Amino acid sequence: MKKILLSSILLCLCLQATYSQNLNYKRIIINAPSHDVIHTLSDLGMDLTCGAVINSQGLQLELSKDELKRVKNKGIAYNVLIDDLTKYYADRATKNLPNAIQELEAQKTSLHAKAGFGKTSVSNILFDNIGQYNGCDEINWPTPTNFKLGSMGGCFTVSETLAELDLMRSLYPNIISVKTNASPTNQTTLEGRTTYYVRISDNPDIDEANEPETLYTGMTHSREVSSLMNLMYYMWYILENYGSDPAITSLVNNQELYFIPIVNSDGLAYNEAVAPNGGGLQRKNRRDTGACSTYTDGIDLNRNFGYYWGNGGSSTSGCSETYRGTTYFSEPESQIVRDFFLDHDFKLVLNHHSFKNAMLHGYAGVDPATLDAAGVDRREDEFAKYNHDMTHFNRYAYGPSTQISALNSGNMNDWMMGPAVAGSTGGPGAGKDTMAWTPENGGGSEAASSSGFWPNPLLIDDIARRAMRANFLAAYFSGKYAKIIDLSSSNVTDLSGNFNFGIEYLGQTDSDFTLTVTPISSNITSLTSPSVQSGMVTLEQRNVSAPFTLNASIQPNDAIEFKVALSNDDGILYEANIIKYYTPTILFEDDEETNGISNWTASGGSWGTTSDAFSGTLAITDSPAGPYNNNESKT
Ligand SMILES: [Zn+2]
């Protein structure tokens, strides 16, 4: 016992000593980098996806001593913004963590804003879903009661994360599985850790064959705090709102959401060991790849996947942050994700990273023209629509990595999307045609100074909220999801006509869609629902009509109220009451040319008609005999 204690103390001291001698990460800025400079940086093995920030000052990077040496050797000029990044992160976290915990508790009482789908016409939402929301500001997501910050600069350690998964299961055993080994062959990480997944669904311990599946992963790069913390926030939010929020209840009942919160648990454990207060900068796994300085051993798991592995934007140098390994899928951590993925049929995947404020999607490791020539469908239309909706409020830049940053081959997204036929480098893709993203969770450009791999703890929940829309929509889009669009004016001018709606099918799982319209106000004498819509293809919008007749006694400005409900095969997606107003174009009419003033009740003068008309032959006047005398009083 003593021996074990002593050796673990020694190990600890040793790690701390290594750490203090190698405070070797700096935040630097390269002013106005040219395209050539960016390409050179990429060729040097710098990661330009997760930690690169481009702002008005230039390109900001967080680099190790080794990397800086390479930048210097190429004659690229830079300024150092933060000399000792680990210390900076740890000091900031230590200073702000107590306040952040306090603020988080205070936020747990905030209110939930309601969604709407037509600013003028929706009077009451009966069954809401966030995809329909079209307010000016993002929904004010109430902080889940159980969401909390971790001990490591606000981030959970490996053991704290696993304890959270256990707590979720103990509080919500009917909708979240026991944490389970993600490897179908019980493979472990290099250092022998189990990679866990959980499933959120009804019947959570069973994989129900017909339920659409969505996958979320985090901590592939083990210093990217928000890639884990946003998932914990989202998971608690779903669990706590199941049963009270009908859309979340339906989502959980009819779909399966899978989470691998920590892909690279060895890397995270290492960061905990060397920088227990946060600020550890181990990104890769813990493979010994040579005489590297602290944090720079290892293989970049997000460059170790098969499809177009080694095609560019990854390094052959063992100490580089983007070292891809000697062959694809050389690492147990990437093998575990591969095998888990192949065991399922995920429709959409969000492989979370941080902190570039971007929504990157495959393909990122190969020139689009090469894929087009090979007949690979890059699904850009679907990505464009989904990205637009997912980033509507957080304003993340979006697109394929090749456009947003630089080529980075061997990444998870490309392999998950890729066909089962190998390209010019690497191996085949998964052959599942799954749409996959890398959300780069950040605090937004306005909070750049508080952001970073280890964001200010005060910002961790904000960053998590910024990911909520993308997380929810990934689930909706995986399933039988459609949106309803009200295409009719709020003014109804005729006693009969059509209420027109658009049904926009945005899901990846086939379904019929039914729009049911039901009268509420008694001035509607008939209202017919459109027919069931079948065979819709993703992104298709069909316009449908609901013919109506109004009671002839309806008065101008009377409210016409009815209910709309959009359903898929599983049940309601959205339901709301709609109010229109009867505003006939002609309120009343009378022809004085024929009738004179016989239809009018005259008072206060001698009303009649005159031939002095603006148009036609007669006009109505209160002095038919001619002009008044001067200075005459009339009432
Ligand atoms: Zn990353």
Q: Residue 424 carries which side chain, given as an amino acid letter?
A: S
Surrounding ion ligand 1 within 5 Å at CB are 50, 221, 224, 353
- Interval between CA 439 and ligand 1 midpoint (Å): 9
Same domain, 496 and 358: no
Q: Where are the alpha helices (DSSP H) in 147-241?
A: 158-171, 225-241
**Alpha carbons 207 and 197: distance in angstroms, whole number:** 13
- Interval between CA 243 and ligand 1 midpoint (Å): 35
Cβ partners under 8 Å of residue 31, min gap 6: 57, 58, 77, 79
DSSP state of 439: E
- Interval between CA 50 and ligand 1 midpoint (Å): 5
Question: Among the three residues 420, 444, 478, which one is the final residue of a domain in this structure?
Answer: 478
Same domain, 493 and 465: no
> What CATH number does residue 514 fall under?
2.60.40.2310
- 209 occurs within a structural domain: yes
Q: Choose among 87, 215, 134, 229: nearest CA to 475.
A: 215
- 360 occurs within a structural domain: yes
List the domain range (segments joined by +) for residue 600. 590-635
Q: Choose among 236, 187, 385, 221: nearest CA to 303.
A: 221
DSSP state of 604: S
- Interval between CA 300 and ligand 1 midpoint (Å): 9
- Overall number of domains in the chain: 3
Residue 270 to residues 5, 184, 266, 309, 558: CA-CA distances in angstroms? Answer: 19, 25, 6, 27, 69
- 295 occurs within a structural domain: yes
Structure tokens at 254: 């009819």
350: left (phi over 0), alpha (psi -120 to 50) or beta: beta
- 519 occurs within a structural domain: yes
- Interval between CA 225 and ligand 1 midpoint (Å): 10
Same domain, 553 and 600: no
- Interval between CA 414 and ligand 1 midpoint (Å): 15
Q: Crossing angle for the helix pair 246-254 and 225-241, nearest 10 degrees?
A: 100
Structure tokens at 139: 């929904």
Same domain, 167 and 280: yes
Q: How many CB atoms lie within 10 A of CB 246?
A: 18
Same domain, 532 and 437: no
Q: Choose among 504, 485, 391: nearest CA to 119.
A: 485
**Alpha carbons 26 and 297: distance in angstroms, whole number:** 17
- Interval between CA 354 and ligand 1 midpoint (Å): 6
Give every residue of the chain whose pLDDT is below 70, as ranges.
1-23, 109-120, 445-449, 587, 634-635
For 256, counting Cβ atoms within 10 Å of its Cβ (0-12 exposed, 13-18 middle, 19+ buried), the class is buried
Sign of the four-CA dihedral 83, 267, 440, 165: negative
Q: Please state the three-class secondary structure of 448-494 as a single string.
A: HHHCCCCCCHHHHHHHHHHHHHHHHHHHHHHCCCEEEEECCCCEECC
- 104 occurs within a structural domain: yes
Same domain, 224 and 307: yes
**Alpha carbons 430 and 412: distance in angstroms, whole number:** 10
Residue 629 to residues 292, 468, 604, 623, 625: CA-CA distances in angstroms? Answer: 108, 77, 17, 11, 11
pLDDT of residue 602: 82
Same domain, 301 and 419: yes
Same domain, 503 and 616: no
Same domain, 340 and 360: yes
pLDDT of residue 14: 42
Contacts by 10-15 with C-beta closer than 8 Å and gap 24+? 12/273, 15/273, 15/274
Sign of the four-CA dihedral 186, 188, 192, 194: negative
- 391 occurs within a structural domain: yes
- Interval between CA 94 and ligand 1 midpoint (Å): 24
Same domain, 417 and 495: no
> What CATH number does residue 337 fall under?
3.40.630.10
Structure tokens at 302: 């997000």
Q: Crossing angle for the helix pair 225-241 and 158-171, nearest 10 degrees?
A: 10
- 236 occurs within a structural domain: yes
- Interval between CA 218 and ligand 1 midpoint (Å): 9
Structure tokens at 453: 């791999």
Strands (DSSP E) contained in 270-418 are: 346-351, 358-361, 397-400
Catalytic residue, candidates 211, 256, 440, 561: 440
pLDDT of residue 316: 95
Residue 423 to residues 42, 307, 337, 412, 452: CA-CA distances in angstroms? Answer: 21, 7, 21, 15, 35
Q: How many residues does the chain have?
A: 635
Residue 458 to residues 82, 94, 107, 160, 450: CA-CA distances in angstroms? Answer: 20, 11, 12, 19, 9
Question: Among the three residues 478, 512, 539, which one is the final residue of a domain in this structure?
Answer: 478
- Could you confirm whether 589 is annotated as catalytic? no
Question: Among the three residues 430, 460, 478, which one is the final residue of a domain in this structure?
Answer: 478
- Interval between CA 436 and ligand 1 midpoint (Å): 14
Q: What are phi and psi of 36, to 5 degrees?
A: -60, -40
β-bridge partners, 440 = 353, 358
**Alpha carbons 376 and 263: distance in angstroms, whole number:** 28
Is residue 346 within 8 Å of 432, Cβ to Cβ?
A: yes
- Interval between CA 124 and ligand 1 midpoint (Å): 42
Cβ partners under 8 Å of residue 398, min gap 6: 358, 359, 360, 361, 387, 388, 390, 391, 404
- 189 occurs within a structural domain: yes
- Interval between CA 406 and ligand 1 midpoint (Å): 14
**Alpha carbons 336 and 95: distance in angstroms, whole number:** 38
Same domain, 438 and 515: no
Same domain, 473 and 348: yes
Q: Where are the alpha helices (DSSP H) in 479-630?
A: 592-595
pLDDT of residue 8: 45
User: Is the ipTM reported for this complex over the cut 0.85?
Assistant: yes
